[in-house]
Structure 1
C-alpha cells in the first residue's frame, strides 16, 4: 500500500502531459486512446484487458489489474486528402484546391489504476486523461470553397476518475465520471477571397462512462461499454478580418434595393478593410453517446481472437446555429467609413430612413446566418475484428481490421467534414522489457471511400470529390508497481 502516494504523484504528472494533446482531423470521434488496442484495430478493446488504458475501453476492466499500473501513450497522425472534379460558381467560382488541408497531429493519453482490496475486496480505482473528440483542418488561403468553410479546429480533453468493483469472478462493473473541456475555432470567407469570419471559444461540461465485464467461460470475455452524451455551450468571441464592407451591401437583396435607387456600388469610393469582434457569441454543441459490445476469445494459450461493434448516436448533430452577436449597428459603430457613407446617402435623399433600416436588417441576416452549419448526421456503426498472438514470453503481435460507416451522406456532407466510409487495417506488437515494464507499438492505415461534397447557398455553390487517407503510428509505455 506504500506505493499508492507514488502512483498518485505519477498520475498527476501524466495529466500535465496529456492536457496539451491535439486532435485528429479526419473525423470527429477519436479512437487513439490506447496503443495496445490500436494494434488489433480496437477489436475487443472493452473485453481484452492488457493494461491501464482499459479504463477508456471499459471502466470495469481495471478490476482485472492485480497491481497498481500506469500507461502513457503518444500517437502521430499524418492525413492526406486529394480533391478531384472540383466545380464552383458565384463566390466559389475561382480559387485553388490543393488538398492535404489536415495538419500533422500528435495525440497523447495517460492512465493510472490501483486495486483497493485493503478497503473493500474487489474494489479498484483509476484515473485517465484522453481525447475522445476532435477536428483539425485548415485549407489554403485561396481555397475555392472557402465561403463554406476554411479553418476548423475543435478539441475535447477529458479527465475521467473511475471506480470499479468485481462482484464475483464472472462479473465486474465500472463507472467513470468525465470532466470535459471543449475549445475550438471555425471560420470561413464571406466573399470567397481572403477575408475570414469565425468564432472561437471554450466550455467545460460533465458526463459519464459505464462498463460491464463478463467472463461466461474461462476462455470467453465480454465487455459492454456506454459513453454518455455531453452538452456544451461555448462562450465565444466572434470576429471578422480583412472584409471589404461593400461585400455586405452587395448581397442580392441589398444590392437590388440600392440599384432601384440608382446607386451603383462599383462607383462608390473604396473603403478600408473591416476588422470587427464581438464578445457576445455562443454556440451549443452536443457530443453523442455511444454503446460498444466487445468480445475476446482465447483459442489457445497463445492465440486470442477479438471483435467489437460500436453504435454512435450521431443524429444528435443537426444544424449548429451560433449566436455571433454581430449586427449592422455593431458594424457601423466599428467602421466610421461605412457609417459615413450611409449617412451621406441619407442626407442626400438617395435613401430614406426606412430604406436604411431595411438594408441594416438584410446585413443583420447575412451576419447571423453565415455561420450556420447544417450537419444532419445519422447514427452509425463501427465493426472491428482482430487477433493477437504470443510469440514467446517477451513478444506479442497483433493485427486487425475495422469498418467505420460514415455518419453523413452526400446530400449533407460538408467541406469541414468530408467523410466517407472508412476502412482501417492495423499491426501492433507488445514487448515485455522487464517483469514490470512493457512497451506497445501500433500502426494503422486508414483509407476512405470517395466522398462527394456538394454545397450551395444563394450566392455560391461548390462541389468536389475527396479521397482521404491517413497513417497513424503510436507508442505506449506501461509500468506496474
Structure 2
C-alpha cells in the first residue's frame, strides 16, 4: 500500500540548542564519530580531547566532575566552537525503487557551518567539597543536501540538536583520591526530511524518479530526558594523575509532527489522499560512554596527556518513526560500539603562554557500505589538533584551538533493509568528508 511505501526514512538529528548566551544555534556535523558533537572546551580541544586528567579549567564538569577538587575559589569558562565541515558525494549507480537511474546532482557540500556555545561554573565550598554546573552540547549533527540530489528519496535534511544542563559535585577524600558526580537534564530536538518518489507510486514506469512528481515528508519532534555522570581522579604522585569517567545513556521519546508536501497534479488522487499530516514519535537513546585518561608532568615546561573513550553506539540499531494512522517507518542502522584514542602534549615556556598539540583516532559506528546512512555518512577519522592559552593575569586567560578532522574515504551501497524503506530505492556512491573546528574560550577566577 502507498502508506507503507512512503513512510519515512529516519535518522536522528536535530536538536534545539538554547545556548547560555541566549541564542538558538544549529549543531554541526562531521567532527566526532556517530552524532557526538565532539568537543566541549577549547582548552581540551587543543590536545585532541586527551586532557581530562590535567584539569585545565571549569570545563572539567563535562570531562570528569572529580576534577573540580583541583580548582580554587569560583571559576567560570565560556566556550564558542565553530565547525566548518566539507562533505562531498559522488554518485556511481543510484536508482529508484524500480531500478531506474535516479537523475539529479551529487548534493553539493552537505555539511553545515555551525557556531555552538558551552559554559561552566565551579565553586569551592571548602577544602574537600566543590559544586558546579555546566551547560553544553553533547550531541549534534546536521546534513543538508541540495533538493534535487540523486539520493533525495533516502534523505534531504537531517538535524540533531541537544542541550545538556549538568549540576555537579565533587568530594576530595585526601590528597590521593577525589570523586565526582552529576545529573543531566538533556533537551533534544530533531528534524528529518526526504523526497517521496510519487512518480513510482503512480505505477507508471515512465514517471519513476521524475522530479515533477516528487513529494516530500518532514518529521520534527523534541523531548527532555535525564541521566547522570560519575568520575574519579587519582593523584599517583606530584607529577602524575589518572582519571576515570562515565556518562550514562539517556532515553528520549521525541514527540512532534509528520508533514507531507504533495505536487498539485496528485493532490486529488488516492496518493494525495494517503499523505495527510499527522502526529509522530521517535524513540532515541543517546549512548553511554566510559573514559580513562592520564596526565604526566615531564618537567617544568612539558606535560603529556592521553585518553581512551569507549562509546555504546550499538544502542542505535534502527530509527523507527511511529505516526498516527500509519505503519511504522524503520531505517535499519546496526551501529557498533566505538573506541577513541587520543594523545597530547603541552609546552609552557613561561607563566604567560602555553602551547598544545594533539592527535586522535576515532572509530566509526558504521562499518560497511550496505548499512551506511546518507544522513550520517560516517567513517573512521583522525584528528589533528593545535591550541594555546594566554594568561592575562592569574585570574583571566583565553584559549584558542583548531582541529582538522579527516574522515577515511568511504562508499555507500544502501538498499532497502526493511519493507518500509522500499520506496527509497538504492543509493550507490562515494563520500569524501573532512572538517575544521575552531574553538575560543575565556576563563575567569573570582
**What is the aligned partner in structure 2 of residue 40 from structure 1?**
47
Q: SS at the partner of 1:216? A: strand
Query: CA contact under 8 A between 1:199 and 1:324: conserved in structure 2?
Result: no
Count of residues in correspondence between the two structures: 402
**What is the aligned partner in structure 2 of residue 336 from structure 1?**
none
| 1:105-144 pair list within 5 angstroms | 105-117=114-126, 121-144=127-150
Deviation at 1:234, TM superposition (A): 0.8
Structure 2 CA distance for partners of 1:372 and 1:244, relative to 1, 3 Å: farther
Q: Between 190-199 and 32-41, report the one with greater CA deviation.
A: 190-199
Q: SS at the partner of 1:215? A: strand
The answer to whether the aligner puts 1:28 opposite 2:35 as a matched pair is yes
The answer to whether the aligner puts 1:301 opposite 2:260 as a matched pair is no
**What is the aligned partner in structure 2 of residue 418 from structure 1?**
377
**What is the aligned partner in structure 2 of residue 99 from structure 1?**
108
Structure 2 CA distance for partners of 1:269 and 1:183, relative to 1, 3 Å: closer
Query: Which residue, 375, 381, 388 being the options, matches 2:339?
Result: 381
Query: Which residue, 436, 460, 464 being the options, matches 2:395?
Result: 436
Q: TM-score by structure 2 length?
A: 0.86
Q: What RMSD in Å do the two structures reach over aligned CA positions?
A: 2.1
Deviation at 1:144, TM superposition (A): 0.6
The answer to whether the aligner puts 1:314 opposite 2:273 as a matched pair is no
Q: SS at the partner of 1:16? A: coil
Q: SS at the partner of 1:406? A: coil
Structure 2 CA distance for partners of 1:154 and 1:326, relative to 1, 3 Å: farther
Q: SS at the partner of 1:173? A: strand
Identify unmatched segments of 5+ residues in structure 2.
1-17, 198-208, 417-421
Deviation at 1:242, TM superposition (A): 2.8
Query: Which residue, 203, 208, 213 being the options, matches 2:223?
Result: 203
Query: CA contact under 8 A between 2:306 and 2:343: conserved in structure 1?
Result: yes
Q: Between 291-300 and 450-459, report the one with greater CA deviation.
A: 450-459
**What is the aligned partner in structure 1 of residue 202 from structure 2?**
none
**What is the aligned partner in structure 2 of residue 454 from structure 1?**
413
Q: SS at the partner of 1:190? A: strand
The answer to whether the aligner puts 1:79 opposite 2:81 as a matched pair is no
Query: CA contact under 8 A between 1:387 and 1:399: conserved in structure 2?
Result: yes
Structure 2 CA distance for partners of 1:171 and 1:453, relative to 1, 3 Å: same
Q: SS at the partner of 2:111? A: coil
Q: TM-score by structure 1 length?
A: 0.80
Identify unmatched segments of 5+ residues in structure 1.
1-13, 248-267, 328-367
Deviations 1:27-46 (A, max 9, x none): 4011220100000111132x
- The 1-side partners of 2:147 and 2:246 are apart by 41
**What is the aligned partner in structure 1 of residue 168 from structure 2?**
162
Whichever structure has more helix as a proportion of its residues is 1
- The 2-side partners of 1:84 and 1:313 are apart by 31
Would you identify which runs of 4 or more consecutive aligned residues in structure 1 move more than 6 Å? 268-275
Query: Which residue, 395, 409, 414 being the options, matches 2:353?
Result: 395
Structure (1 or 2) with the larger CA radius of gyration: 1
- The 1-side partners of 2:288 and 2:56 are apart by 25
Structure 2 CA distance for partners of 1:326 and 1:146, relative to 1, 3 Å: farther
Deviation at 1:372, TM superposition (A): 1.8
The answer to whether the aligner puts 1:475 opposite 2:440 as a matched pair is yes
